[in-house]
């Protein structure tokens, strides 16, 4: 087997160019962080790429957000298609088109052609999530949209700089369609300059090594990654793996979860992902266009190859097939702004399949991302300016083989993303956080428990015209465990009305909900799913979790069968009752299969009577209810139970 590099570059020049390409995109990232306006970019929702003259990705930043992986080359190629033969040094183009390989409208990419003298040798691309792109909802997330019209401004390839001259007319037209024009212009400059950083670096390399060697190097680094991936895939057994995960619902249809089905086939050094069996597009923004679906596949798979650099060499190894007009292959004008929901389902399904191939890197389901968006007028300031409050929370990742899940971590679609400080939010927006802490009992129980989620409660301060939207999922497709591990918990947003003192359950997805000053809104995030049978968890680990209050004394017994006596909580004096533990575990083992198959209607009754809570419903009885009214969701329950039997029950001894 020939393992020698097929590039003709000498190994030193190759290694130097490879590292320099990566350094150049890292330099772009540094510049963006220091000059950006969008706080979403500031919290690291961005990515940068260096491309060859055909638009293939040569290097993508190692700290870039996962969700942009495998999409930059698509938008670069689209720009080339538009402007071929009409590109000049000093040009910069923009695109945010999800139907041409982008992700969603908020992610705006600025692309600069790089020339050596007259010759086009490559492109640099800077992709950042802008704070607003217009449409009917602040932050441009209108969950009720079915089509893109009114969601946000769609930017097909446009020219923002012409031979170094800023095209203020075009830029202003875009900015004027948003709620935050000054920041939009600022971010255009910030990103345009970031692309210049890579241009300077590439031209320096050309000056040193010559054009031919550099362009050859751009090919060679892609070949290099492809070789490494092929090598690893070849070393794996051939086979077929299948996984299904769900989106909670189609608001345009009745109750019932929306399946995303993936079949992965490894044959020799080829790998294919087939989405046959996935649901048709749905009447919400939770659809994914083909470019974003490809990205989800790559991001999921890359998790099992953490050390490899990212470029088109990786991407061309992966083949994705999807039925037309499915929830993972939406076409214009189907709304796709919430593509992150299918995205994370795909990632987790891929985690599940690869966990079987590489058990040493196995991981259960991670919590679902969530965004809270609110906007209105801030009455704390004399001129009552428009404010936009846009917040996301961390949660728990899945339990692992020999290790608990990672606690309070950013969502898997973008682990580089930072959560925002409460003090910053309180200063900028009329909201005050009342509570922001780890959510006790959120980790999915398992021999290795999931990571912990959080709970955050805030009060709306002096404001008017405030509407709120919430973008989340897995209220029904609850974060699952594997290898006998248990799910985390259902979740959604609760509002406590200041005038009546009443609580209202709003669930995990809603848009344009009016709230008043003094109203309090609370929502948790899920923990990760458990890995392995919770009855096999070392009671000492349960004890430690109880002492640290990750797990309550009550749920230690319910979920783990570990009975703990509290001697003196002030002195952290807790003790395992071993005899009672043995008895509790025997009881659970003897009855749990029956519980998991109990008549769902009966479970719904117990819930309505307050005898059980939503954790009991999913962990013990595997039943999905309307968590506000307690009404049974028969179809969702059937789907949930099918997965629960496979992932949990079948592994119990």
Partner 1 sequence: MTKTRVAVDVGGTFTDVCIMDEDTGQIRIEKTPSTPDDPMRAIMTGISDAGIDLADVTMFSHGTTVATNALITRKLPRAAMVCTEGFRDVVEIRRSNKEDLWDTYKDVAKPYIPRRDRLTVKERIDAAGKVITELDEAEARRVARILKKRDVKAIAVCFINSYVNGDHEVRMRDILRAEMPDVHISISSQIMPEIFEHERFSTTMVNAVVSPVVVDYVSRLGDKLAEGGYTRDLLLLHTGGGVMTPASVKDFAARLAGSGIAAGALASRFIGNLCGYENSIGFDMGGTSTDVSLCFQGNSTVTKDWYIEYGYPIRFPSIEVLTIGAGGGSLAWKDEGGSLRNGPQSAGAFPGPACYSNGNEVATNSDANVVLGRLGHSLAGGDITLDAGLAEKAIRETVAAPFDMELHEAAEAVIDVANANMANAVRLLSISRGHDPRDFALVAFGGAGALHGAAVAKELSIPVVIVPPNPGVTSAMGCLLVDIQHDFSDSFMADASQTVPEDLEAAFARIEKEAVDRLRHEDVAPENTVLQRTVEMMYQGQWRSLAVSAPATITSTEDLVRGFHDEHEREYNFRREDAPVSIFRVGVKATGVVQKAELPSFEVTPHAPDPASQRDVWFKGKSCRTDVYDRATMKAGAEFTGPAIVEQVDSTVVVPPGATAKIDQYMNILIRVKD
User: What is the Cα–Cα distance from 271 to 12, expressed in whole angstroms?
Assistant: 31
| Using rule CB under 8 A, residue 11 touches partner 1 | yes
Nearer to partner 1, 428 or 649 (CB): 428
Q: How far is CA 131 from CA 37, 212, 332, 371, in A?
A: 8, 41, 23, 13
| Using rule CB under 8 A, residue 27 touches partner 1 | yes
Q: Which of 540, 548, 575, 631 binds partner 1 (CB under 8 A)?
A: 548
Of 541, 534, 549, 557, residue with least CA distance to 440:
549
Q: How far is CA 92 from CA 159, 204, 205, 268, 540, in A?
A: 6, 20, 21, 42, 59
CB of 389 to partner 1, least distance (A): 14
| Using rule CB under 8 A, residue 175 touches partner 1 | no
CB of 461 to partner 1, least distance (A): 9
User: What is the Cα–Cα distance from 474 to 368, expressed in whole angstroms?
Assistant: 7
Of 238, 236, 222, 228, residue with least CA distance to 316:
222
**Rg value, the chain, Cα:** 25
Span near partner 1 by CB under 8 A; candidates 139-147, 393-401, 587-595, 629-637: 393-401
Segment 345 to 364, residues that bind partner 1, using CB under 8 A? 361, 363
| Using rule CB under 8 A, residue 423 touches partner 1 | yes
| Using rule CB under 8 A, residue 397 touches partner 1 | yes
User: What is the Cα–Cα distance from 126 to 136, expressed in whole angstroms?
Assistant: 26
Q: Which of 104, 302, 474, 520 binds partner 1 (CB under 8 A)?
A: 302
| Using rule CB under 8 A, residue 36 touches partner 1 | yes
Q: Which of 136, 272, 377, 422 binds partner 1 (CB under 8 A)?
A: 422
Which DSSP helix (H) or strand (E) runs through 113? strand 107-116
Span near partner 1 by CB under 8 A; candidates 31-39, 103-111, 471-479, 535-543: 31-39
CB of 77 to partner 1, least distance (A): 24
Segment 452 to 491, residues that bind partner 1, using CB under 8 A? 454, 457
Span near partner 1 by CB under 8 A; candidates 91-99, 135-143, 188-196, 507-515: 188-196
Of 377, 383, 382, residue with least CA distance to 461:
377
- Residue 207: burial class (beta carbons within 10 Å; 0-12, 13-18, 19+): exposed
User: What is the Cα–Cα distance from 325 to 331, expressed in whole angstroms?
Assistant: 6
Number of residues that bind partner 1 (CB under 8 A): 86
Span near partner 1 by CB under 8 A; candidates 142-150, 368-376, 403-411, 644-652: 403-411
Span near partner 1 by CB under 8 A; candidates 58-66, 109-117, 485-493, 513-521: 58-66
Q: Are 463 and 430 in contact (CB under 8 A)?
A: yes
Quote the DSSP letter at residue 440. T
Alpha-carbon 514 to chain mean position: 27
**What does the per-residue mask of binding to partner 1 show for 191-210, with x meaning CB under 8 A?**
--x--xx-------------
**What does the per-residue mask of binding to partner 1 show for 110-149, with x meaning CB under 8 A?**
----------------------------------------
Alpha-carbon 308 to chain mean position: 21
Nearer to partner 1, 257 or 393 (CB): 393
User: What is the Cα–Cα distance from 204 to 301, expressed in whole angstroms?
Assistant: 34
Q: Which of 117, 165, 571, 590 binds partner 1 (CB under 8 A)?
A: 571
Alpha-carbon 440 to chain mean position: 23
Of 495, 460, 313, residue with least CA distance to 377:
460
Q: Return phi, psi of residue 223, to 5°.
A: -60, -40
- Express the helix, strand and coil content of the chain in percent, nearest 5 each: 35, 25, 40
Alpha-carbon 436 to chain mean position: 21
User: What is the Cα–Cα distance from 3 to 11, expressed in whole angstroms?
Assistant: 13
| Using rule CB under 8 A, residue 16 touches partner 1 | yes
User: What is the Cα–Cα distance from 1 to 56, expressed in whole angstroms?
Assistant: 27
Q: Which of 104, 400, 592, 647 binds partner 1 (CB under 8 A)?
A: 400
CB of 612 to partner 1, least distance (A): 27
| Using rule CB under 8 A, residue 421 touches partner 1 | yes
User: What is the Cα–Cα distance from 258 to 485, expressed in whole angstroms?
Assistant: 23
Nearer to partner 1, 122 or 394 (CB): 394
Nearer to partner 1, 220 or 328 (CB): 220
SS (H, E, C) 9-59: CCHHHHHHHHHHHHHHHHHHHHHHHHHCCCHHHHCCCEEEEEEECCCCEEE
Span near partner 1 by CB under 8 A; candidates 3-11, 96-104, 150-158, 278-286: 3-11
Nearer to partner 1, 285 or 463 (CB): 463
CB of 532 to partner 1, least distance (A): 16
| Using rule CB under 8 A, residue 552 touches partner 1 | no
CB of 400 to partner 1, least distance (A): 6
| Using rule CB under 8 A, residue 407 touches partner 1 | yes
Span near partner 1 by CB under 8 A; candidates 13-21, 319-327, 468-476, 590-598: 13-21
| Using rule CB under 8 A, residue 434 touches partner 1 | yes
CB of 479 to partner 1, least distance (A): 15
Q: Which of 67, 80, 417, 477 binds partner 1 (CB under 8 A)?
A: 417
**What does the per-residue mask of binding to partner 1 show for 222-261, with x meaning CB under 8 A?**
--xx-xx--xx-----------------------------
Question: What is the bridge-based pairing of β-strands 239-247 and 107-116?
Answer: unpaired
């Amino acid at each position: 087997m020939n393992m020698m590099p097929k590039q003709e570059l000498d190994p030193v020049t190759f290694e130097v160019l490879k590292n320099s390409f990566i350094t150049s995109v890292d330099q772009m990232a540094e510049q963006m962080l220091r000059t950006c306006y969008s706080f979403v970019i500031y919290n690291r929702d961005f990515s940068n790429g260096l491309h060859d003259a055909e638009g293939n990705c040569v290097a993508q930043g190692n700290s870039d957000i996962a969700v942009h992986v495998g999409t930059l080359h698509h938008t670069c190629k689209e720009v080339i298609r538009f402007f071929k033969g009409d590109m000049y040094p000093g040009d910069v183009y923009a695109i945010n088109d999800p139907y041409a390989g982008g992700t969603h409208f908020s992610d705006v990419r600025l692309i600069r052609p790089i020339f050596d003298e007259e010759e086009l040798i490559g492109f640099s691309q800077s992709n950042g999530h802008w704070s607003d792109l217009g449409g009917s909802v602040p932050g441009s997330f209108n969950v009720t949209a079915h089509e893109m019209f009114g969601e946000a401004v769609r930017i097909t390839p446009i020219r923002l700089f012409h031979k170094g001259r800023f095209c203020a007319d075009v830029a202003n037209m875009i900015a004027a369609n948003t709620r935050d024009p000054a920041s939009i212009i600022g971010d255009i400059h910030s990103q345009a300059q970031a692309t210049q950083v890579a241009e300077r670096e590439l031209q320096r390399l050309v000056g040193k090594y010559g054009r031919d060697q550099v362009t050859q190097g751009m090919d060679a680094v892609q070949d290099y990654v492809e070789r490494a991936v092929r090598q690893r895939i070849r070393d794996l057994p051939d086979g077929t793996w299948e996984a299904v995960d769900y989106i909670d619902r189609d608001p345009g249809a009745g109750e019932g979860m929306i399946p995303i089905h993936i079949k992965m086939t490894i044959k020799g050094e080829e790998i294919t992902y087939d989405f046959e069996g996935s649901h048709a597009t749905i009447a919400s923004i939770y659809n994914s266009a083909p470019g974003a679906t490809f990205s989800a596949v790559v991001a999921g798979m890359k998790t099992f190859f953490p050390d490899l650099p990212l470029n088109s060499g990786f991407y061309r190894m992966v083949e994705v097939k999807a039925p037309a007009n499915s929830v993972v292959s939406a076409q214009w004008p189907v709304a796709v702004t919430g593509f992150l929901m299918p995205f994370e389902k795909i990632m987790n399904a891929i985690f599940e399949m690869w966990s079987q191939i590489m058990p040493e890197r196995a991981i259960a389901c991670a919590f679902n991302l969530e965004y809270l968006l609110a906007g209105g007028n801030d009455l704390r300031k004399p001129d009552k300016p428009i404010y936009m409050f846009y917040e996301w929370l961390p949660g728990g990742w899945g339990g692992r083989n020999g290790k608990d899940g990672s606690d309070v971590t950013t969502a898997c679609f973008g682990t580089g993303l930072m959560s925002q400080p409460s003090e910053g939010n309180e200063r900028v927006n009329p909201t005050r956080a009342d509570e922001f802490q780890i959510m006790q009992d959120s980790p999915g129980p398992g021999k290795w428990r999931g990571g912990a989620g959080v709970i955050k409660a805030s009060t709306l301060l002096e404001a008017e015209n405030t509407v709120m939207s919430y973008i989340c999922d897995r209220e029904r497709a609850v974060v699952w465990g594997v290898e006998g591990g248990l799910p985390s918990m259902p979740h959604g947003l609760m509002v406590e009305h200041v005038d009546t003192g009443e609580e209202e359950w709003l669930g995990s997805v809603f848009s344009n909900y009016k709230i008043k000053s003094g109203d309090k809104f609370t929502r948790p995030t899920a923990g990760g799913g458990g890995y392995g049978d919770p009855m096999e968890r070392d009671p000492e680990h349960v004890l430690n979790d109880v002492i640290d209050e990750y797990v309550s004394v009550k749920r230690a017994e319910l979920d783990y069968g570990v009975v703990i006596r509290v001697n003196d909580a002030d002195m952290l004096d807790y003790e395992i009752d071993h005899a009672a533990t043995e008895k509790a575990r025997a009881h659970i083992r003897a009855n749990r299969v029956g519980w998991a198959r109990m008549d769902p209607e009966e479970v719904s009754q117990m819930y309505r009577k307050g005898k059980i809570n939503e954790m009991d419903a999913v962990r013990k009885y595997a039943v999905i209810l309307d968590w506000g009214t307690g009404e049974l969701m028969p179809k969702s329950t059937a789907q949930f139970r099918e997965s629960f039997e496979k992932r949990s029950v079948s592994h119990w001894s």
